[in-house]
Structure 1
Amino acid sequence: MPPRLTFPGLILRSTIGSLLIVFISIVLAAIAHGYSIAGTYKGSAIQNGPDPSIIAVTGTDGLTHWYMYCTSGPISETDRTNGTLNSHLMLIYQSTDLINWNYVSDVFTKRPKWVGSSNLWAPDIQFFNGKYYLYYTAANAGSHGTKGSGGAIGVATSSSPAGPWTDSGAAVVEVQTNRWVYDSHVVLDDYGPAPSGLRYIFYGSFVGGIHARKLSADGLHSDKTSDVAITTSERYEASYIRKHGGSYYLFSSAANCCNDDLTGYSIFVGRSATLLGPYTDREGISLLDSRAGGSPAISMNGNRWVGPGHNAALTDYAGQEWLVYAAVNRADSFFVGGNFTKRTPMFDPLDWNNGWPTVRGGFWASEIVTDRPAAQPGQPNTYVTSYVVPDSPGVLIPELSDEFDGSKFTWTWAAGRVPATGTYGLTPNGTFSFAVQNADLFKDRNDASVLIEPVPASDYLVEARVYLPIAGDFTNHNYAQAGIVIYRDDNNYIKLVHVAINGTRQTEYAKEIPTGQRYGNTIIGPPADWTYLRIAKRTNQSTGEETYTSYTTTQTDVNGQPVNWIHGGTWTHSLGTTAKIGLVSMSGTGYTAEFDYVRVSTVQP
């Protein structure tokens, strides 16, 4: 997947598109609770299988056979010809236990004529009309010369889940000039209060957002006149619909899928009574809003897996649901000489908490084998749900906390970068005012002012209430932002901000390091004029590794205290005890941020 767009902190996906057909048999073994797909091929671990889609089929042997389909690419680091990485044209794997997987074949032995040399991504497997349909993205079917052009959805059919596959010879969803036509998912509208009985095809990505339209009865065409917007632009891709508890749930992925060890891709959910929406998140915010809604179902949690995204799901024979997705091992994150990210297929239990899905009780991706899915009739469920306890403040550290009421002010400016006189200071309303600067803290541009104070010597939680009055009206205010940083220097920090990204307003949680891709980000909950931000820092006592976990909210109780904190992703970093807590207001002009308070406390055990 060649580079799409680069925003400050929002860098999109990449891959390759060469061709090789290799007929091999590969056994894939489990190594996580849930588990990642691993094993050996040509002496190397199974390392790649993005955008998985899965289906169960009863075989002639009486067993259930599970088939998984993945985006084109190599299988592992050693999957090469004369030193060049091979790219299978969408991989098919098969399993009878959802643990050990065998390579079956590639979907195509050569690209369909209509797609030209296009990369083939994101297969979506369906069965209806007595045959199998495999929908896929032809990523380069159109020109990428103008914003929004490029990409179309194709389909191939077969009488067997293993193929051979016959392509339809034309696009099901055509190339469009105003949106990226990627990442399809077909859904039968047979659920909820007023089902139509029709099939719809969902598709779309960051440019233009996710859309849906009617699919023809033969599954080979779509009705462009029925096209409906499902999400706002600049936020989501990789749609997947799950039916649960009388509602439709839209799973979709946000941020960067393919940024090596800084991949911040994460999965968010909205809920609707009807298939075509509107979808709203746990807080009632629409996924169509400029201040985009979406409740996290999984993000990175501080272990070796980052960038969990682009999912499918299944229900095993014991009734336990499992999320199927891809993630990046941050210790082995990219193909040598290939210039793109390894994305490993993953399985983890999908739980439901008060009507909302979360992976593994909110603990998210895991590393320890403990449970097996019930892949065949009669097998038991051994998984027991436990729910994560979010970080919360312990004892306030008054010498590092500031209500900005004028009683004290001990902050200083990092690196001597003092803002212009009159653009910052305490206000009569008991806030710290800080005009958004035409300056930045992003890779090699490091001219933004950072207001700093020391961090505590041990684990801590920092919370701030931040005002950034950029209206949620879809106007472009790139990339004005304000919030908090944990700052060692200009090339080593963690950042949590309310930011304008094109027509959207989002909360971005970012990490910068001095090497490799340098900058990565994920997204958390929707912002408002006033947004509450939290970062909880903990140190792993066994490894010494520092973890920084994010939270946001815009809601308060009757006493005006923040409630309903949204648990976001966790970055690891090595910032140490000489790092600083910082405030930033940057990457634009025309607005003034205000900080109502900064409160630093111990973090509850």
Structure 2
Amino acid sequence: MASQGLRVLAAVAALVVVPWVSAPPSSATTGGYRNPLRPGVNGSDRTVDSCADPTVLRGQQPGDRYWYLYCTTDPLDDQDTAGPGDPVFHPVPMMRSTDLVDWTYVGDALPEAPSWAAEGAGLWAPDVVYSRSLDRYYMTFVVTDVDDAVSGEPGCTSDSAIGVATSRRPTGPWRVSDTPVVAPRRAGVGCDFFWTYDPDVLGDGIRDRGVLYFGSYYGGIHGSRVELTRHGMTATGGTTRITVGNRYEGANVVRRGDHYYLFASATNCCNGPLTGYSVFAGRADSPLGPFTDREGTSLLAGRVGGTPVLSMNGNRWVGTGHNSVFRDFDGQWWTVYHAVDREDPYFASEPGFTKRPALLDPLDWVGGWPTVRAGRWTSDEPMPAPAAQPGEGTSYTPAPLPDDVPGERLVAYSDDFSGTTLDPRWSWVRQPAPATYGVEGGAFRFDTQAGDLYVDSNTASVLTEDAPDGDYVVETRVRLDVPAEGCCFNYVQAGLVVYGGDDAFVKLAHASIWETRQTEFAKEVPTAPEGSPRYGNTVVGPPADRTWLRVVRRGVPGSAGDTERYTAYTSQDGTRWVRGGTWTHDLGDDARIGLVSMGGAGFSAHFDYVEVSSLGR
């Protein structure tokens, strides 16, 4: 999201048009590229170094060989923020390219906000689609704050809406409609409005009807039928919710074969070097769902589903999200998305203002499910370029990344909690009251506490043991008796930590977050420069009545700075595992393995075992 932030199935299916087909085999292959994309600014040595919420579209009119890239309103580079004045914001920058690698900035799409936008409103997250019937391009976008007359509530700044602009050319000039496509949507009284963000129209080329997706964490993602006119777009009928609230934003839906795939992003988009923003997918037989993940869990469930498509993998790129998916002329799928360089996370002179360049990587389908680079995720090395023009081929070949597996069980560090008392290997950080924990029935009971481990709020108890030297896998199975559905038990949680101290750890826990239950994978650091966070999080697979949690620790020999990589896995049955993101950290040789049960009193966690193994791969 965000800057700093139908007819029957047969009829709808007819609207989803891929405007080209896979080219026949060709000896002509394209060159290469390396992330990030750096569009040039004509007449200068400047480059576009931030392109948040990117969307890509190939020119749809006959003879147009260009691809077009559109971004959310932000500064282009450090020159736009350097100096004593206010940053220079570009309202929806536009770029074009013939090869999907070398891009040129061609101007801003919306130099003037809609007449119905409030003063100072942001224009975010564009999406562009072409109407073959009307020979026009339609750009939908977010207006973060509308006039009082539009929302019906004076003095509000959170009454967001979806606008539309039309043009005969993909780079404008754009004519903005004098009414929103989706007006602000009330959640309650006063200035309580759902987040009406991140539009996406199904397909690249349609006729005069389509499906529009919109929404964000507060209220969830929704879909609606729309009809196009010469100068606008109108939502028709009602809306259908397709995700639970407080989990997803940045929808992009594509059709592949008989299925529709929803790509959506989760967690904080703009948290500097601790940004854990990641992309997840659900699949449905209808464009309006219901969408379920690879494990069969609904994206509408309280224990919310979503199969990871893209997350941080331990290189310099974090915050990999808000993506757009397309195919090249060789039939290969690709995705463009924004990310954060943890070595250069902020605009110059603006500590805390996260810079989000655009990245490009191939998208593969493994067992019918999308994953970037066959599970390797973001590239930071030279890559084969897409086949951007007819007759070209790409030399990209998937190299699937197998999941980590446990090796030999390390008996001295493993515990099945038999007997009636804790083994002497365990020790407490802030021992809780004796009645709130115990070994019973072959499990360790640990009542949730009204305490936490979060920045300077270090009041929760941690049960710890030594960790082995070198690489290892630690796993537990936990039952947290928070109800599976309903709001709110914020932020009750229970799970694993690799604990270097109250302010230096990674944590994987089943957590209650508003109306959702998620598996949060978090990192905290003891110090950070001014404007930088100390805590960041991502999420993994859905929890269950009993949730398996696994953290893989791997050293990075010879690395500077963070010297360890920690990768999260979750499972609902102990057999099928979901791999999540990888945090880098520097917890050192004295880090310990721990258990936590915290975030609010009134519930209990039961840990069936802690098993520590060597790393099998």
Aligned to 1:104: 106
TM-score normalised by structure 2 residue count: 0.88
Task: Indicate how the Cα distance of structure 1 residues 197 and 399 shifts in structure 2: closer, same or farther if over 3 A, else same.
Answer: farther
The superposition leaves residues 481-501 of structure 1 with CA deviations (integer Å, 9 ceiling, x where unpaired) of: 000001111110000000000
Task: Indicate how the Cα distance of structure 1 residues 146 and 468 shifts in structure 2: closer, same or farther if over 3 A, else same.
Answer: farther
Aligned to 1:6: none
Aligned to 1:409: 423
Task: Indicate how the Cα distance of structure 1 residues 600 and 492 shifts in structure 2: closer, same or farther if over 3 A, else same.
Answer: same
Task: Indicate how the Cα distance of structure 1 residues 176 and 146 shifts in structure 2: closer, same or farther if over 3 A, else same.
Answer: farther
Aligned to 1:534: 550
Aligned to 2:9: none
Aligned to 2:12: none
Aligned to 1:439: 451
Task: Indicate how the Cα distance of structure 1 residues 228 and 530 shifts in structure 2: closer, same or farther if over 3 A, else same.
Answer: same
Aligned to 1:37: 37
Inter-partner Cα distance in structure 2 for 1:199 and 1:234: 26
Inter-partner Cα distance in structure 2 for 1:58 and 1:141: 32
- State the shift of 1:58 in Å: 6.3
Aligned to 1:51: 53
Asked whether 1:207 is paired with 2:211, we answer no
* Contiguous gaps of at least 5 residues in structure 2: 6-30, 188-193
Of the three residues 116, 122, 130, the one matched with 2:125 is 122
Instruction: Provide the secondary structure at the position in 2 that maps to 1:115.
Output: coil
User: Which residue identity does 1:123 align to in structure 2?
Assistant: P
Q: Do 1:264 and 1:307's aligned partners in 2 also have CA atoms closer than 8 Å?
A: yes
Aligned to 1:363: 376
Q: CA RMSD in A?
A: 2.4
Of the three residues 247, 272, 280, the one matched with 2:259 is 247
User: Which residue identity does 1:174 align to in structure 2?
Assistant: A
Paired residues, number: 567
Return 265-274 or 38-47, whichever deviates more: 38-47
Q: Do 1:44 and 1:77's aligned partners in 2 also have CA atoms closer than 8 Å?
A: no
Of the three residues 247, 253, 262, the one matched with 1:235 is 247
Aligned to 2:140: 135
Q: Do 1:410 and 1:453's aligned partners in 2 also have CA atoms closer than 8 Å?
A: no
Asked whether 1:548 is paired with 2:566, we answer yes
- State the shift of 1:146 in Å: 11
The superposition leaves residues 490-528 of structure 1 with CA deviations (integer Å, 9 ceiling, x where unpaired) of: 110000000000111000000001222011000111101
Instruction: Provide the secondary structure at the position in 1 that maps to 2:412.
Output: helix
Task: Indicate how the Cα distance of structure 1 residues 44 and 411 shifts in structure 2: closer, same or farther if over 3 A, else same.
Answer: farther
Of the three residues 150, 161, 171, the one matched with 1:152 is 161
Aligned to 2:78: 77
Aligned to 1:20: none
Inter-partner Cα distance in structure 1 for 2:116 and 2:258: 40
Inter-partner Cα distance in structure 1 for 2:249 and 2:445: 36
Task: Indicate how the Cα distance of structure 1 residues 469 and 188 shifts in structure 2: closer, same or farther if over 3 A, else same.
Answer: same
Q: Do 2:550 and 2:569's aligned partners in 1 also have CA atoms closer than 8 Å?
A: yes
Aligned to 1:183: 198
- State the shift of 1:410 in Å: 2.7
Q: Do 1:482 and 1:593's aligned partners in 2 also have CA atoms closer than 8 Å?
A: yes
Q: Do 1:148 and 1:176's aligned partners in 2 also have CA atoms closer than 8 Å?
A: no
Aligned to 2:494: 482
Of the three residues 424, 432, 441, the one matched with 2:437 is 424
The superposition leaves residues 554-576 of structure 1 with CA deviations (integer Å, 9 ceiling, x where unpaired) of: 12xxxxxx111001000000001
Task: Indicate how the Cα distance of structure 1 residues 481 and 411 shifts in structure 2: closer, same or farther if over 3 A, else same.
Answer: farther
Q: Do 2:92 and 2:108's aligned partners in 1 also have CA atoms closer than 8 Å?
A: yes
User: Which residue identity does 2:113 align to in structure 1?
Assistant: R
Inter-partner Cα distance in structure 2 for 1:341 and 1:381: 33
Task: Indicate how the Cα distance of structure 1 residues 434 and 326 shifts in structure 2: closer, same or farther if over 3 A, else same.
Answer: same
Of the three residues 345, 348, 355, the one matched with 1:342 is 355
Inter-partner Cα distance in structure 1 for 2:608 and 2:486: 26
- State the shift of 1:533 in Å: 0.3
Instruction: Provide the secondary structure at the position in 2 that maps to 1:422.
Output: helix
Instruction: Provide the secondary structure at the position in 2 that maps to 1:426.
Output: strand
Aligned to 1:573: 585
- State the shift of 1:188 in Å: 5.7
Return 285-294 or 105-114, whichever deviates more: 105-114
User: Which residue identity does 1:182 align to in structure 2?
Assistant: Y
After TM superposition, list the pairs within 5 Å mapping 1:459-474 onto structure 2: 459-474=471-486
- State the shift of 1:443 in Å: 0.8
Instruction: Provide the secondary structure at the position in 2 that maps to 1:361.
Output: helix
Instruction: Provide the secondary structure at the position in 2 that maps to 1:600.
Output: strand
Task: Indicate how the Cα distance of structure 1 residues 434 and 73 shifts in structure 2: closer, same or farther if over 3 A, else same.
Answer: same
The superposition leaves residues 40-77 of structure 1 with CA deviations (integer Å, 9 ceiling, x where unpaired) of: 667666420001111111688x5620010000111111
Inter-partner Cα distance in structure 1 for 2:156 and 2:544: 28
- State the shift of 1:221 in Å: 4.1
Q: Do 1:173 and 1:221's aligned partners in 2 also have CA atoms closer than 8 Å?
A: no
Inter-partner Cα distance in structure 1 for 2:165 and 2:75: 21
User: Which residue identity does 2:159 align to in structure 1?
Assistant: G
Inter-partner Cα distance in structure 2 for 1:120 and 1:335: 19
Inter-partner Cα distance in structure 2 for 1:348 and 1:75: 22
- State the shift of 1:541 in Å: 1.9
Q: Do 1:250 and 1:271's aligned partners in 2 also have CA atoms closer than 8 Å?
A: yes
Task: Indicate how the Cα distance of structure 1 residues 188 and 457 shifts in structure 2: closer, same or farther if over 3 A, else same.
Answer: closer
Instruction: Provide the secondary structure at the position in 2 that maps to 1:399.
Output: helix
Aligned to 2:602: 590
Q: Do 1:200 and 1:212's aligned partners in 2 also have CA atoms closer than 8 Å?
A: yes
Identity within the alignment, %: 43
Task: Indicate how the Cα distance of structure 1 residues 408 and 479 shifts in structure 2: closer, same or farther if over 3 A, else same.
Answer: closer
Return 148-157 or 173-182, whichever deviates more: 148-157
Inter-partner Cα distance in structure 2 for 1:77 and 1:182: 27
Q: Do 2:209 and 2:226's aligned partners in 1 also have CA atoms closer than 8 Å?
A: yes
Instruction: Provide the secondary structure at the position in 2 that maps to 1:75.
Output: coil
- State the shift of 1:372 in Å: 1.1
Inter-partner Cα distance in structure 2 for 1:467 and 1:493: 22
- State the shift of 1:104 in Å: 0.4
- State the shift of 1:600 in Å: 0.6
Inter-partner Cα distance in structure 1 for 2:252 and 2:576: 26
Aligned to 2:4: 14
- State the shift of 1:148 in Å: 11
Task: Indicate how the Cα distance of structure 1 residues 520 and 287 shifts in structure 2: closer, same or farther if over 3 A, else same.
Answer: same
Aligned to 1:93: 95
Task: Indicate how the Cα distance of structure 1 residues 436 and 58 shifts in structure 2: closer, same or farther if over 3 A, else same.
Answer: closer
User: Which residue identity does 1:199 align to in structure 2?
Assistant: G
Aligned to 2:390: 377
Inter-partner Cα distance in structure 2 for 1:524 and 1:441: 20
Inter-partner Cα distance in structure 2 for 1:63 and 1:110: 27
After TM superposition, list the pairs within 5 Å mapping 1:285-296 onto structure 2: 285-296=297-308
Asked whether 1:171 is paired with 2:185, we answer no
Aligned to 1:19: none
TM-score normalised by structure 1 residue count: 0.89
Instruction: Provide the secondary structure at the position in 1 that maps to 2:78.
Output: coil
Q: Do 2:53 and 2:72's aligned partners in 1 also have CA atoms closer than 8 Å?
A: yes
Aligned to 1:259: 271
